[in-house]
Amino acid sequence: MNHRPQLSRKATILFSVLACVVAMNLILSNSYTRKDIFLNNDGSPNDHTIHIDVIADKEEEPMHLHPAAETTEFSMSDHNVTLTASSTNATTTFKHYDGVVIVTKVLWQKDVKILLRHLCMLSHAYNDRMHYDIVVFTTLPWDQNNIKTLQDMVSPAKLTVALESPPLEEQMAAMPDEEREFLRTRCGLKLPNETLSYTNWCTEPGYKTKTTYSSLGYSWQAEFRAYHIWTHEALKDYKYMMWFDSE
């Protein structure tokens, strides 16, 4: 005679409770809207409301604005950006620590629009109280006008755009011939006069898929964050680092 295994009473109760929890989460997730995030119970915008409207080739649907929000406009050579955000209110408290720096990294100044979004949210949600210094590491140099745009955004906090390393040409010149040729081969350079750049696709032999993560620039930022950042001159005066990805 075959006997089916029977669940104990405790196991039955446990599975029933888990099923109820899953069902309640599904119900709540379906009824949770952006209104619950940005509006108070009376329908007025709450203090976490933030609006970033990027004027570029493609217009984006705006979020709800706080009535008392302040607007700052920046004009750059290749695009205009309008940023609007409400500051944190007096009910939010943060403890200030000495020797703290906020750090992020980009490849070049073409990432300035991403940084404006990033720093706008960070400043108005937190750093408008702390005024911690900010260091933006960049692989390729910036124009002074774009640096000033970021500095105006986060003022009165201090912002520095720091070159993370010597130019790629200098780094390659300092390599032994064997390492230099190894890198050129991995990055697909076949002719002696071809120039290597951070946008080159570099990968393992036989790996055919091309992605953003295969670029030399992405590989370099991983090495920089894992090793070189800890001895960089731009961070020598700080005890603590808060790292944020630029996105």
Select the more confidently predicted residue: 26 or 240. 240
Beta bridge partners of 159: 134
Beta bridge partners of 51: 84
Select the more confidently predicted residue: 26 or 107. 107
Buried b (16+ CB within 10 A) or exposed e, 141-173: ebeeebbebbbebbeebebebeebeeebeeeee
Please state at what angle helix 144-154 crosses helix 112-122, rounded to 10 degrees.
10
Terminus-to-terminus CA distance in the chain, angstroms?
64
Q: How confident is the model at residue 159, as a pLDDT?
A: 97
List the structure tokens of 235.
Answer: 């961070």
Q: How confident is the model at residue 6, as a pLDDT?
A: 53
Select the more confidently predicted residue: 42 or 122. 122
The count of other CB atoms within 10 Å of the CB of residue 3 is 5
| Residue 12: pLDDT band with limits 50, 70, 90 | low
Structural domain boundaries in the chain: 38-164+232-243, 168-224
Average pLDDT over residues 68-78: 43
Across the chain, what does the average pLDDT equal? 74
Contacts of residue 96, Cβ cutoff 8 Å, sequence gap at least 6: 129, 130
**Contact status, residue 68 vs residue 108, Cβ threshold 8 Å:** no
Average pLDDT over residues 36-50: 49
| Residue 72: pLDDT band with limits 50, 70, 90 | very low
pLDDT digits (tens, 9 = 90+) for 157-198: 999 999 998 888 888 888 999 998 998 988 888 888 888 888
Model pTM score: 0.62
Q: How confident is the model at residue 19, as a pLDDT?
A: 67
Select the more confidently predicted residue: 96 or 73. 96
pLDDT digits (tens, 9 = 90+) for 97-148: 999 999 999 988 999 999 999 999 999 889 999 999 999 999 999 999 999 9
Q: How confident is the model at residue 152, as a pLDDT?
A: 93
pLDDT digits (tens, 9 = 90+) for 186-241: 888 888 888 888 888 888 777 766 665 678 888 888 888 889 999 999 999 999 99
